[in-house]
Structure 1
């Protein structure tokens, strides 16, 4: 296939020589370094939520500022993932991964030392950039040091450990908050970062780098600016008091910039997102699957705790605990999914897994109507974990196997960026859907009191001045369940469509060659 050759030859190695020969002991160190590094990033995505009340009181911050403590991290993490993947390919996966770990540890220390909400928001944004450097590298390092026939099992181990870290994050954070200051949830990252950095420095071999590497800086600026504005606009659009025109402007500007980014990448000699990758059917289809499935997953799980708390009176801790069966089943099966990928290929798993996940989303609607913890919600969440556990390892394996060896970092970055952006779109876009369902369900339950809920949004409790004798509380609970039910059905449909793209992911699709 004809392609610009500048910067694409790898230290005079042919594609068949790209896979470095490493011992099984070194491979174990690669996996553990990847797990320690990426686990910090995944855990920090959720750990902050349990500390928000204490942080707000300590920093004298507003609720909006606390929302952006979370959003700043998510925005920069999603916007810089492509740059992180491309930098790993250009300058060495191990080198960029270690830089990401070091920066994540330092920015975590900075977060803990913040004396104001503004400083904490800036530190969290920088922490997201650091995470974007190490997340693509964690997966790409595994792919670079494992042959294709053993890659699925290794990725499954990484996925399982990362899922456990994400589940334990809020639990660990709650324990740290109970025994000490809120700063401890960030400082705990420092020793983990030091250990991961030492393991990587002493035991992880360097992978080949591109000769005369040239970074696509214009592409990087366009990608970061476009994704950042799009994510910012969509996040603001999903906020309760958002001015729609103010929120739409950055989102539309970001979308236009992303179009310019694609046009630039088409003509760049050294693109950070090689569009030729999408000519590989497996790569194109698995990223379509990722977009739809993670849209569904992020949307359903974002609104679930709210409806359980508001409609059924769950405590925050009890609502959070419903994620444990999902995460634990997913973690256990992710490793098994990796073994099954090596043995049976990806097509069957990437079809069956999303279909099971789709079924679980559809069952969430009646489960939330019932409201029972053990009889309704927990079994459905375990079923969701089954579907995702079957899917995650073969999905990651397909991404890695579909890309040529000198582009596995950027391939991982693309896939991670798509999953993050899908989540941001889901939370913002489905917020409007949840509100429409909320208002319709309220009108259906009590036409005479429909005006009370006409201007209300999903999760907005009725005014305290309204007499409870009017049955407003019951109508509100019905409205919340109706709003979530509509979201759950849309998520089920998106996951079902993703199974179609999973079926189209042939496990034996050869990676695209970049040799001229």
Structure 2
């Protein structure tokens, strides 16, 4: 890599790191949050989903803004907004205030990932791009895995509130690097953003997710449930229809005419829905069911993190050489096997015999999956549209996690006891297997000898 490329890679990694870190660091803090602010499992679901709703909906807008107005500008806006929201969450006096602040934080986080990844795709090409994406994926995905560990330490030693304040450190470093790098953006003439479409998408997702979360409390026959579900679904359908005719769509439907793009996003739906469900259920059950301290619950996923960091970059390079199909098939299926190993967890709890093997197998599968998945999707789209392509894929991943968490109470049977934990493990495995089968049937390997930017 040249000096500029290294600089770009560090900015991209740090810019995305906080969004991925915060997405999972909160999981281990959920029991402490509900203990202090009240609300039980409903508060826990909304603390996660308020973030994912705005992140999943507005990440599409951010992708369009990134391509139209410049990646560095969008990245700066996201970093500052994320930092301010993190401070507000740390000072939250009530659960309602915290949930609203989490929604604001998700909106700011939507501006981080697409612009960060677009910086890589516009500064790297060919196998170098595959390796750079592998490094970016390893570091940002490791943030998702190491988040529970950091959160656990902060919850046990100080307070859950510090689990959000810690975001300020990488945000500050990234802003300094952006200032010293001297990057300049160019604005596309006549650029416009479909704000009405963004509102329809956000309200549509919000209505449907609200119904899914609150359904166990009110029942499907209650107008409190079916009315927001119907209105939300209608708004989301209207949003999709609008994207077919609006001049500047935030979700360009023509992208889904590319085989690897749409297939990769279907696989993303299964895989990242499973990851979100598994990540939340494991750290919460280890505290509330197995009686582990928050730090130990966070440490449970450390083997997965180590394997991801060690092998993701190498797998990314091999994917650039051999193609992503094999890795995207074997990786999710391996993670599915790892999820089924959690069925060995019993009343007589033993981390080393019941959880550790699952974490190792999950880590191997994750390292095989994440970089090839990202490369396959972005490699199918030209660099001039890398911002929106990245945004769509990340939106799909977040919405998949959003729906999985919204269905948590239904999946576990209302209570995250041992039976509920086992049910969640089976659902996780089924989603992973579906992701691997989808990749095998749909993904096609691009020419292995091309060093030119994807087109």
Query: Above 0.5 in TM-score?
Result: yes
Post-superposition offset of 1:117:
4.1
Distance 1:299 1:35 in 2: 24
CA shift digits 1:456-481 (9 cap, x unpaired): x3336xxxxxxxxxxxxxxxxxxx33
Q: 1:49 to 1:350 in 2, by over 3 A?
A: closer
Aligned with residue 332 of structure 2, among 306, 330, 354:
354
**Is the Cα contact below 8 Å between 1:371 and 1:377 reproduced in 2?**
no
- Deviates further, 373-382 or 504-513: 504-513
Aligned with residue 416 of structure 2, among 459, 480, 504:
459
1:450 corresponds to which residue? none
Post-superposition offset of 1:280:
0.4
Unaligned runs of 5+ in 1: 1-22, 436-456, 461-479
Aligned partner of residue 249 in structure 2, secondary structure:
coil
Distance 1:208 1:145 in 2: 15
Post-superposition offset of 1:325:
1.6
2:437 corresponds to which residue? 500
**Is the Cα contact below 8 Å between 1:334 and 1:389 reproduced in 2?**
yes
2:141 corresponds to which residue? 163
Instruction: Determine if the alignment matches structure 1 residue 228 to structure 2 residue 228.
Output: no
Q: 1:369 to 1:50 in 2, by over 3 A?
A: closer
Q: 1:313 to 1:256 in 2, by over 3 A?
A: same
Instruction: Determine if the alignment matches structure 1 residue 241 to structure 2 residue 217.
Output: yes
**Large movers: runs of 4+ above 6 Å:** 509-513
Q: How many aligned residue pairs are there? A: 447
Instruction: Determine if the alignment matches structure 1 residue 255 to structure 2 residue 233.
Output: yes
Q: 1:364 to 1:398 in 2, by over 3 A?
A: same
Instruction: Determine if the alignment matches structure 1 residue 152 to structure 2 residue 130.
Output: yes
Distance 1:371 1:342 in 2: 42
**Is the Cα contact below 8 Å between 1:149 and 1:342 reproduced in 2?**
yes
1:135 corresponds to which residue? 113
State the Cα RMSD in Å: 2.9
1:20 corresponds to which residue? none
Aligned with residue 201 of structure 1, among 176, 179, 187:
179
Q: 1:351 to 1:208 in 2, by over 3 A?
A: farther
**Is the Cα contact below 8 Å between 1:234 and 1:248 reproduced in 2?**
no
1:112 corresponds to which residue? 90
CA shift digits 1:47-100 (9 cap, x unpaired): 334555665677x65545565444322322222111111111111112111111
Post-superposition offset of 1:203:
1.6
Instruction: Determine if the alignment matches structure 1 residue 25 to structure 2 residue 17.
Output: no
Post-superposition offset of 1:154:
0.9
Q: 1:209 to 1:319 in 2, by over 3 A?
A: same
Q: 1:213 to 1:502 in 2, by over 3 A?
A: same
Q: How does 1:326-341 map to 2 (within 5 A)?
A: 326-341=304-319
Post-superposition offset of 1:387:
0.6
Distance 1:164 1:339 in 2: 18
**Is the Cα contact below 8 Å between 1:308 and 1:371 reproduced in 2?**
no
**Is the Cα contact below 8 Å between 1:308 and 1:368 reproduced in 2?**
no
**Is the Cα contact below 8 Å between 1:75 and 1:232 reproduced in 2?**
no
CA shift digits 1:356-387 (9 cap, x unpaired): 12222233324558853212321121101111
**Is the Cα contact below 8 Å between 1:222 and 1:258 reproduced in 2?**
yes
Post-superposition offset of 1:132:
0.6
2:247 corresponds to which residue? 269
Distance 1:297 1:248 in 2: 28
Taking structure 2 as the reference length, what is the TM-score of the superposition?
0.88
Taking structure 1 as the reference length, what is the TM-score of the superposition?
0.78
